[in-house]
Amino acid sequence: MFVIESYLIAVFFCIVTMLCWGSWSNTQKLVSTNWRFELYCWDFVNGIVLAALIFALTLGSYGDHGRSFIEDIRQSDSNSIWSAILGGVLFNAANILFTAAISFAGMSVAFSVGAGLSLVLGVIVNFLDSPVGNIMLLFPGVALIVIAILLNAHAYRKMAAGATTISTKGLLLSICSGLLMGLYYKYVANSMFPDPLTPLAGMLSPYTAICFFSGGVLLSNLVLNPLMMVKPFSGPRVSFSAYFEGSRKDHFFGVVGGLVWCIGMLFSIIASYKAGAAISYGLASGAIVVASIWGIFVWKEFKDAPKGTQAMLNVMLVCFFVGLLMIVFAR
């Protein structure tokens, strides 16, 4: 299997993850305006599963290190398999709750509470599991990225004219989403052997772990998404027949969104061997600000923003890049 043996290459892979996780949501803007998120989710999950299988049968099956994908499955034990599957279930539940939180409380609350909580919790949990990195650089770097997220959220709030109240349901959904999103990565990392050059019996390679993770996403989606369609958090009920009425464009961009997200997930997992899980997750969480950069410069979401918003966004970008540099140098 393909293995990263250089820290600089690991950092590059983490940056690719950040770009993938901050960019996949653009595919939602490219589907039809009447294509509901619940319908998009089916194709998004299919894209995750497809990407996981492609990587497992290519990068995960060739090379001089570790075990091939098929060999790795044959020797894996139930604890490792269920740990990776649980990670997929937690991620999918968190993603659905996060989307619902946006519909109730808006992007400002969802990002500041949900994404901020997941970043802090994710770095702490992964660092305690694998204490790699200088805490004097790692945690201040994470703090700067949290500040960037809060500034990003406040900028969206300024854009939402008249949004003076906060939905209690939206706030609770944001908290639940953040807690789940901060925990899922740990379970995937725990399913893998700690040294890519020394595979342990029963544990999984990153490529096998991603496949079982994607299986967890798929299985949970078969339960959670139908519930969302029948009892949506907002909007009218969605019929199952509506999925088959979608255009090729709608289905294509949904699958592409899942492919891009899964590429980011795999790169983060591969990089975690050299960078450490906390650093890898911390860098990848900068995706929140990357998504905002797309909104600022490509989708022009802030072109009619109130006075002072642009200065706030500039400070956000400075905090973001300084925070990323501190996390990189923490190793």
Cα 252 from chain centre: 20
For the segment 81-134, what is each residue's pLDDT rounded down to a tens digit?
A: 999 999 999 999 998 888 777 767 666 566 667 777 888 888 888 888 888 888
Tokens of 120: 């802090």
Tokens of 158: 């300024």
Site of tokens 């305690």: 128
For the segment 33-85, what is each residue's pLDDT rounded down to a tens digit?
A: 899 989 999 999 999 999 999 999 999 988 778 888 999 999 999 999 999 99
Tokens of 202: 């029963």
Q: Which residues pair with 228 in a beta bridge?
A: none
The pLDDT, as a whole number, for residue 59 is 92
C-alpha span between 266 and 243 (Å, rounded) = 28
Q: How many CA atoms lie within 13 A of 65 on its CB side?
A: 16
Using a pLDDT cut of 70, give the percent of the chain over it: 95
Contacts with 66 (C-beta within 8 Å, 6 or more apart), sequence order: 1, 3, 72, 196, 197, 199, 205
Mean pLDDT of 6-31: 90
For the segment 254-269, what is each residue's pLDDT rounded down to a tens digit?
A: 999 999 999 999 999 9
- Using pLDDT thresholds of 50, 70 and 90, give the confidence band for residue 28: confident
Please provide the DSSP assignment of 117-140 as one string.
Answer: HHHHHHHHHHHHHS--S-HHHHHH
C-alpha span between 309 and 56 (Å, rounded) = 45
Find out whether 281 and 121 touch, Cβ atoms under 8 Å: no
Tokens of 278: 């906390």
Coil, helix or strand at residue 192:
strand
Length of the chain: 331
Q: How far apart are the first and last CA of the chain?
A: 25
For the segment 145-178, what is each residue's pLDDT rounded down to a tens digit?
A: 889 888 877 887 777 655 545 567 777 888 898 8
Mean pLDDT of 202-228: 95
Please provide the DSSP assignment of 21-70 as one string.
Answer: HHHTTHHHHHS-TT--HHHHHHHHHHHHHHHHHHHHHTTTTSSSSS--HH
Domain boundaries, the chain: 7-329
Q: How many CB atoms lie within 10 A of CB 246?
A: 20
The pLDDT, as a whole number, for residue 96 is 86
How far CA 201 is from CA of 68, 71, 77, 190, in Å, comes to 13, 11, 8, 14
Contacts with 240 (C-beta within 8 Å, 6 or more apart), sequence order: 226, 229
Contacts with 252 (C-beta within 8 Å, 6 or more apart), sequence order: none
Looking at residue 234, what DSSP letter applies?
A: S
Tell me the whole-structure pTM to 2 decimals: 0.87
Could you tell me which of 222, 249, 285, 296 has the C-alpha nearest to residue 28? 249
C-alpha span between 151 and 141 (Å, rounded) = 15
Alpha helices (H) in 76-115, listed in sequence order: 78-109
Coil, helix or strand at residue 204:
strand
Tokens of 40: 């998009």
Phi, psi of 330 (to 5 degrees): -70, -20
Coil, helix or strand at residue 187:
helix
